[in-house]
Structure 1
Amino acid sequence: QVKLRNLSRFLEDGDKAKVSLRFRGRELAHQHLGQELVQRIREDLAEFGTVEQEPKMEGRQIVMVLAPVKKRQ
């Protein structure tokens, strides 16, 4: 919850945010759980930002980049 709150604050301030989820040990055998977690983060932050780089595996981690939503004035 704390990390989600920080992510939403960064996006509200107009900054981009990079989400990386590292797999350790046998966790690589359960990558689908990591994909589900990244998807849940994406849905929770939909009002604050959009996905600039889709989640993808880079070695032992899943990486996703979020960009802030344009504010209407």
Structure 2
Amino acid sequence: MMRRPMQAPPMNGPRFNEWIQSPKVRVIDHEGENLGVMYTREAMEQAKELGLDLVEVSPNADPPVAKFLDVGKFKYEAQKKANLARKSQKTQEI
């Protein structure tokens, strides 16, 4: 029996759920409480129980920091913030 290839990882935005590559992550829950370091699979199960996703917010930390968030809402808010920054930047003409 052949397995189907996994979907391509998300190209833009943070890694989330099964695309997190680290075996352990430091977890922050949806209320901002630090739950400590735990295995990624265990953290994904807890996030799924809450109806949220496990989103890697700081991949360069040791261990990486992940939060229980809604990925769609997180991406939307990041896009709005980027649009506002682009709108308010000043350009100089030479």
Q: TM-score range by the shorter chain?
A: 0.3 to 0.5
| TM-score, length basis structure 1 | 0.32
Greater share of residues in strand: 1
* Bigger RCO of structures 1 and 2 (CA < 8 A, at least 6 apart): 1
Q: Of the two, which has the highest radius of gyration? A: 2
| TM-score, length basis structure 2 | 0.27
